[in-house]
Structures are given as structure tokens and as C-alpha cells.
Amino acid sequence: MSQSRRVFLLSGLSGAAATTAIFQNKGYANKAKPSVIHTAQAKQNQLTDNIIAAFNQLPGKKGLKFLAPADAGFGEWSAMLNPNIVLFCASAFKGFVLAEFLRFVEETLKPGDKNSIANQLNQQLSRELILDESVFSPGAPVFNPPNLSGKVTVQTVLEAMISRSDNTATDMALKQVGADRVRQFIAEIGLQSTRIPTSTRQFFGYIVGYPEWQTITWTKLVELLEKDLYEPKPILNDTITMAASPHDFVSFYSRALQGKFFKYPETFNKFRAILSLADAVALSMPLGVNGFGKGGSIDFGSEHVLTFAGGMWIPKRWVYFSMMINWTDKEAGTVAQVQQPFIETVNKIFTSVRDSFGC
């Protein structure tokens, strides 16, 4: 399918706003000698400076937040660059969908039943969903519309949504759980900057300018992606978008990756397991850490986006992160041109964090 507007929502690691850098170290949990604390603080100050300097080399509007909570005898550390800026987050919003889908499944599980929670969960994830034109969406490297159809399991849908950022899989998941339910979850956990679409197909229909985007069919969307028939809309808008702040992502992952939103360890472990499959993890994280998260990217007209948010376990420490850039043709090239510098920068940052907090 040709795409004259270069519409892509990928896995991502598949005039800029004014910036601020903030460093916080809230003391050591143990009572170390003042000279030891001073040395550690100096090293963490340097780590923060290096992270901000490296990320500032990337184009466009930028937002970043890292958080290492107090743990293992060490105090809290954070590094921030425009942490409250609201940017287009692309497919990174799918982490919220995964969490609420598993919470939705939890409502069907019955503790105390002779069938274990693990077996009940597997039965729910083995349910088959219909894959057909009603859910086809562009940017679907696993389900490859319109060439694949039939039935696929819930687990396959969730894994495709995260591991390859498949938009058809995302719309299948949203159709099952309901976008409003995901929005309610986002609101209940206090994420004030986050917005998600009802479906990725509707989002694409809106930004290509189609007046009836709420009910756009697959056939019509394919036609519109091949022909510029309407005036396009900005990807970050007040109607239907994918948006968040670095602060919101870190707030979410710092709790979700600790199981705060789940009733059962089985669903929590499934959440972590699926997030570990994201291609952004393998592409950007160094050896010696366990990574969990979701990336995102888009090219549309003159607008471009790369994002990555999640958490990583370094022996003895958790570090949560969100890195987001939005840029235009005037500031840099396409995602294909900027992605490699982005990956190299992110890998450099993760490596320095690993080396600073690891054993």
C-alpha cells in the first residue's frame, strides 16, 4: 500500500521548547560518611549533566525524565528535561492499553476456584478474536492487512501490539476492553496529560482530514492514504491524538512495573513479560539490565516523532524513564534518518545509568 502522506506508527526503536535540567538526590537511606555522600552526589550530578547534554543534541522539542527511587541503601535520584511538556507519544500509549486489558481480564478470574488463577488466565489469553476488515489498520507488521484474516488468540494480539507495535492488534485490544475504560484508568491513576485514541484507524482517518473519521472503513482509509484528498490535520490536536508527558509515563511505569495496579501476581508477571518483548528494549538497552517498555514513532507530512518509556532493573536498583522528541522537516529528516542517532543516544544514556547504579 503506497502512502503519500508517509503515515507510519512504528515501535520507534522499530523551534524547540525552552529546556530545564533538574537534579535531585534525596539523601542516603543508610548513614554514610559525609565524604562518601559528597563523592556519590558529585558522580550523580555528573551523570545527570551527561544525560541532559546527550539528549539535547537530538532535534526538535524534547522531554525526558529518569527516576531511581530510594532503594538498596541509596537515596532517590532523578534527572529531568521538560518533564511536564505534553508531546505526541505515538505508539508508546499502548503500554496503558496492555495494563488495562490485563486488569479487564482480572475481573473474570475467580480466586479459590479449583482451577488455578494461572490456568484461568491462560484460558482467557487463549480466547480467539476475529481478525478481519473491521479491525484492519495501517502500520501492522504482524497481522499485515489485508493479507491475513481469521482468528487469533488474545495473547497473540497483546504480544503483537507491544513487540512489533502492530496497529491492527492495538485496535483489536481496544475493541475488546474499550478505549473509555482505558481513559478512565488513566484518569484514576492521576495522569493528567495523557490522551489516547479510540482506535488507531480513527486517528489516521482524522489526521488525513476525512470528515467522517469516526466511522472510516478500511477501504476508505487505504484510498485516502494513497491520495491527498483533504487538508491534513496536526498529529497533536484536541480531537483525537496520542499524547503524554515524560512525568506521566514515569508515574505510570514506576507503579505498574511494581504491580500496583494488578490484583494477582499472574497478571502482573504477564504485564512485565509482554513489555520485555518490545523491540525498543533489545535495540536500545545494554547487556546487564532487564528492560521493559514501549517505544513509538511516526512520520506524517512534515511532523516526526520518536519516543521510548518504561523501566529497567539494574542489579539492586529500579530506574524508570521516558524520552520523547517531536520535530519537523525544518529541524531534521524523517524517522528513518533520525532513528539511529536516537538509538545511539538512548543506548549511551542507559549504559551510563547502568554503570553508575550497577554492581
User: Using one digit for the tens of pLDDT, what is the confidence trace for 226-273?
Assistant: 988 999 999 999 999 999 999 999 999 999 999 999 999 999 999 999
Contact 269, 200 (CB under 8 A): no
- 153 in a domain, yes or no? no
* Structural domain range at position 219: 8-93+195-357
Minimal CA–CA distance to 194: which of 149, 157, 245?
Answer: 245
Beta strand spans in 82-224 (E): 87-88, 128-131, 150-153
- 39 in a domain, yes or no? yes
In order, the DSSP letters of 240-253 are: S--EE-HHHHHHHH
Give the DSSP letter of residue 195: B
pLDDT above 50: residue 24? no
pLDDT in tens, 169-222: 999 999 999 999 999 999 999 999 999 999 999 999 999 999 999 999 999 999
Which of the two residues, 17 and 167, has the higher pLDDT score?
A: 167
pLDDT in tens, 59-106: 999 999 999 998 867 789 999 999 999 999 999 999 999 999 999 999
Residue 56 CB partners (closer than 8 Å, separation 6+)? 19, 62, 81
Cα–Cα distance between 359 and 353 in angstroms, integer? 12
The domain that holds 70 is classified in CATH as 3.40.710
Q: Report the interhelical angle of 200-207 vs 167-177 (nearest 10°).
A: 120
What total of structural domains would you count in the chain?
A: 1
User: Where does the pLDDT of residue 357 fall: very low under 50, low under 70, confident under 90, or very high at 90 and above?
Assistant: confident
Q: What is the pLDDT of residue 4?
A: 41
Cα–Cα distance between 96 and 256 in angstroms, integer? 9
Cα–Cα distance between 114 and 8 in angstroms, integer? 46
Minimal CA–CA distance to 295: which of 258, 322, 334, 319?
Answer: 322
- Enter the pTM of the model: 0.90
- 127 in a domain, yes or no? no
Q: What is the pLDDT of residue 9?
A: 45
Contact 339, 308 (CB under 8 A): no
- 184 in a domain, yes or no? no
- 339 in a domain, yes or no? yes
- 116 in a domain, yes or no? no
- 19 in a domain, yes or no? yes
Q: What is the mean pLDDT of residues 4-24?
A: 40
- 299 in a domain, yes or no? yes
